[in-house]
Structure 1
């Protein structure tokens, strides 16, 4: 069975690109486009990694990261932040809240794949 990546991204074009990359790499993809749907899903187990945008409709990514890390199943799930927010305080905040890696948009697909693979191997 393929590992499932929870993709939390509201931008349609970026989401489709990420979905394509992830499926090509052999992952199943569960794509959520807003914070409310994501909050409900992260409360349940059944995914191997999370790709998380910080700027989402309804609830932001840092809040979702905090909620994920409160879940027993979410404490060890690798989380890659993928966002346009590139401020030093944004990066530091996400890492302090439990993100495993942080990648700024626009991104290189090969770098994205390499970072996710490294996170998956570590966990």
Structure 2
């Protein structure tokens, strides 16, 4: 599985340099020089890491970072600021706005790749190997097996793909449309309410009779794999008392 990188940079030569080094290491790279387009791509393409320059067209990188952190769909995406602004105050501002790492120009492409890998290991451990883990759930993607707290979990093919997608992006909220694109594919027409059906099945399978619900329902937004999710009535997939978070 290839991690997807969104590169937001207005220097075309630098874009090609970074793209070459990332793709050589097996990453998929999407690039733009425009802050407004970066926000749209972050929502539509669901990158695993965003490399963000400060000085870009239409919106500054710092404003893009701020807006990404405000939206549930992109709040959890790791961000590396890549900029010529090297003053301590700039670093502090970038990190306080929500960047996970801050790299100043000039920089070593090898170091940037290493930082991307380190960020993925820390914030997206699911992307670093064939076994995905979160909140007691363990998925062996090679053997196609799932356990929770050591107990086997039986899943249908769609529920398996749905859970894998959640495990690859723990804590991140996905809309029904985004889940349809990721799990069913963009070329397949499926009604959005189908997602709700499979979420209920997935909840029933992984929660059993009395385990805490690991799938959080976000009103008017979608679903997330989140250990702080709501408690549900056993076997129903419906939030107790009808509340959501």
The answer to whether the superposition gives a TM-score over 0.5 is: yes
8 Å contact kept, 2:21–2:110: no
Cα displacement (A) at 1:88:
1.2
| Structure 1 runs (4+) greater than 3 angstroms displaced | none
1:52 aligns with 2:52: yes
What stretches of structure 2 of length at least 5 have no aligned partner? 124-245
Residues 30 and 45 (structure 1), Cα distance of their counterparts in 2 relative to 1, 3 Å cut: closer
8 Å contact kept, 1:45–1:74: no
Give the root-mean-square deviation of aligned CA atoms. 1.2
Q: How does 1:1-123 map to 2 (within 5 A)?
A: 1-44=1-44, 46-123=46-123
What secondary structure sits across from 1:54 in the alignment? Answer: coil
Which structure has the larger Rg?
2
Q: Which has the higher helix share?
A: 1
TM-score (norm 2): 0.48
| 2:218 paired residue number | none
Cα displacement (A) at 1:40:
2.2
What stretches of structure 1 of length at least 5 have no aligned partner? none
Cα displacement (A) at 1:26:
0.8
Q: Distance in 1 between matches of 2:15 and 2:74?
A: 22
Map Cα deviations across residues 1-29 of structure 1 (whole Å, 9 max, x no partner).
Answer: 31110000010110000100110111111
8 Å contact kept, 2:8–2:34: yes
Map Cα deviations across residues 37-76 of structure 1 (whole Å, 9 max, x no partner).
Answer: 1122233352111000000011100000011111223222
The number of equivalent residue pairs is 123
TM-score (norm 1): 0.94
8 Å contact kept, 1:83–1:104: yes
8 Å contact kept, 1:79–1:100: yes
Cα displacement (A) at 1:102:
0.4
